[in-house]
């Protein structure tokens, strides 16, 4: 049986490990340790397509492809593991609170409409449309972009279900077993770590912020910017909101989750000014939140490729080695598990991601 090693046990690594295992490979996931920043455990849980690939049709399509696979994928997770990952797809909005935001959002919607043509699923809606769909939205909301393809999921339950399913399909997940490089031992693709070397037919680097350095050892270019995002969670309240916004959603258990900062900072943690601005915005968007108590907050570090779009790299110096990095790892879970993993098992990335390889960075470097 062909053997695959996946370096990194976050949402991207486990999704691809599942796809490789489903394709019949013997899969080992080598994961890091709890000192690593793990975006998969610190994100907002949105399955979000409306703003993806605004400038790049293949990314827009990949996101929508994954969103379309999500209903079946969530059903498969439930059936196979008994874990309901709280997937819901009631659409999503991105609110505008002043005229500058309205202008920027209208421009974004126009760009999406132009790039997607007949496939477009995003429109600009006014405040009355917003309040009709989301009666809790406050009078400060002037309008929004609206996309019925958007949804959300519980990312912690998702991680648990994915790990369980990957293991049930034969994958072995080893924690505290960091890899440092990929190379060729004679004609054998080999993954190296501190005191070990493991041969494989496929090796996939999906190690979050460490992806760039490990991928470089196999000649792949994966430039990543760590971007911190602070998120706030409230006490549980009665269900009142199924549609998500870019900044706020309600988890099935009742907690309100809000905040969506983008800070050029690589260390986790929270700061009072950012949390306070999140709270002010959340209350302007949904005034009832003023009387809901905050329970906790955290800062997660995004694995942001330099140009914001996912990277699917394949090594020329180490055939069979791949690297993946993306910001929207929750959104792309279904396509990673159902399409990308199988393609890597077969040894050829799909044409759909041919413009999302690392060659775009080599081209930039050459100019």
The contact set with ligand FAD (CB under 6 A) reads 7-13, 30-32, 36, 38-40, 42-46, 48, 178-179, 206-208, 210, 214, 229, 231, 300-303, 326-331
Q: What is the C-alpha separation between 76 and 333, in angstroms, rounded? A: 13
Distance, in Å, from the CA atom of 90 to the CA atom of 75, rounded to the nearest integer, reads: 16
| Minimum distance of ligand FAD from residue 159's CB (angstroms) | 9
- Centre a 10 Å sphere on the Cβ of residue 358 and count the other Cβ atoms it contains: 21
Nearest to 145 by CA among 111, 189, 190: 111
Structure tokens given for 21: 């295992």
Tell me the closest approach of the beta carbon of residue 129 to ligand FAD, in angstroms.
23
145 - beta bridge partners? 94, 124
Contact (CB, 8 A) for 269 and 229: no
d(CA 171, CA 27): 5
Q: Residue 2 Cβ, how far from ligand FAD at the closest point, in Å? A: 21
| Nearest distance, CB of residue 32 and ligand FAD, angstroms | 3
Q: Which is nearer to ligand FAD, 132 or 267 (CB)?
A: 267
- Give whichever of 253 and 290 is closer to ligand FAD, judged by the CB atom: 253
In whole angstroms, how close is the CB of 312 to ligand FAD at the nearest point? Answer: 12
The least CB distance from residue 11 to ligand FAD, in Å, is 5
Nearer to ligand FAD, 9 or 53 (CB): 9
In degrees, to the nearest 5, what angle opens at C-alpha 176 toward C-alphas 170 and 180?
95
> Judged by CB, which is closer to ligand FAD: 39, or 241?
39
Spatial strand order of the sheet with 248-250 comes to 248-250, 255-258, 224-236, 294-305
Shortest Å, Cβ 118 to ligand FAD = 25
User: CB of 38: closest distance to ligand FAD in angstroms?
Assistant: 4
Q: Residue ranges of the alpha helices (H) in 134-176?
A: 155-168
Burial class (CB in 10 A: 0-12, 13-18, 19+), 152: buried
The DSSP line for 247-306 is SEEE-TTSEEEE----BS--S----HHHHHHHHHHHHHH-GGGGGS-EEEEEEEEEEEET
Count the Cβ atoms, other than its own, within 10 Å of residue 164: 16
Sheet holding 188-193, edge to edge: 179-185, 188-193, 196-199
**Other Cβ atoms closer than 10 A to 157:** 19
Q: Of the two residues 74 and 206, which places its CB atom closer to ligand FAD in the complex?
A: 206
> For ligand FAD, which is the closer residue by CB, 109 or 207?
207
Quote the tokens at residue 1: 């049986």
> Is the CB of 10 or the CB of 91 nearer to ligand FAD?
10
Of 127 and 152, the one with the shorter C-beta distance to ligand FAD is 152
Instruction: Return the residue nearest ligand FAD (CB atom).
Output: 10
- Least distance in Å: CB of 323 to ligand FAD? 10
Q: Is the Cβ–Cβ distance between 3 and 30 less than 8 Å?
A: no
Residue among 326 and 349 whose Cβ is closer to ligand FAD: 326
């Amino acid at each position: 049986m062909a053997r695959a090693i996946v370096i990194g046990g976050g949402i991207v690594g486990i999704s691809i490990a599942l796809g490789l295992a489903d394709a019949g490979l013997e899969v080992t996931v080598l994961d890091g340790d709890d000192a690593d920043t793990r975006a998969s455990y610190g994100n907002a849980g949105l399955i979000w397509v409306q703003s993806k690939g605004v400038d790049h049709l293949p990314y827009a399509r990949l996101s929508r492809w994954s969103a379309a696979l999500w209903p079946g994928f969530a059903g498969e997770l439930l059936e196979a593991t008994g874990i309901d990952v709280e997937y819901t797809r009631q659409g999503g909005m991105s609110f505008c609170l002043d005229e500058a935001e309205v202008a920027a959002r209208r421009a974004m919607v126009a760009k999406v409409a132009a790039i997607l043509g007949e496939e477009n699923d995003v429109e600009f809606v006014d405040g009355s449309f917003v309040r009709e769909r989301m009666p809790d939205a406050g009078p400060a909301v002037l309008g929004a972009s609206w996309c019925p393809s958007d949804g959300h999921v519980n990312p912690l339950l998702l991680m648990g279900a994915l790990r369980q399913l990957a293991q049930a399909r034969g994958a072995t997940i080893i924690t505290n077993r960091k890899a440092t490089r990929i190379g060729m031992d004679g004609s054998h693709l080999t993954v190296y770590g501190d005191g070990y070397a493991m041969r494989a037919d496929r090796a996939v680097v999906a190690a979050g912020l460490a992806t760039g350095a490990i991928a470089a050892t196999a000649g792949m270019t994966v430039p990543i910017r760590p971007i911190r995002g602070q998120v706030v969670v409230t006490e549980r309240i009665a269900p009142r909101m199924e549609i998500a916004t870019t900044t706020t959603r309600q988890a099935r258990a009742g907690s309100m989750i809000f905040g969506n900062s983008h800070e050029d900072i690589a260390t986790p943690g929270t700061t009072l000014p950012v949390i306070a601005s999140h709270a002010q915005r959340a209350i302007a968007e949904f005034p009832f939140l003023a009387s809901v108590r905050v329970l906790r907050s955290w800062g997660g570090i995004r694995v942001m490729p330099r140009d914001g779009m996912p990277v699917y790299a394949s090594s020329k110096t180490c055939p069979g080695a791949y690297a993946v990095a993306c910001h929207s790892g929750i959104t792309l879970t279904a396509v990673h598990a159902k399409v990308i993993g199988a393609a890597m098992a077969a040894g050829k990335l799909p044409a759909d991601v041919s413009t999302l390889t690392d060659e775009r960075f080599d081209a930039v470097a050459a100019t």
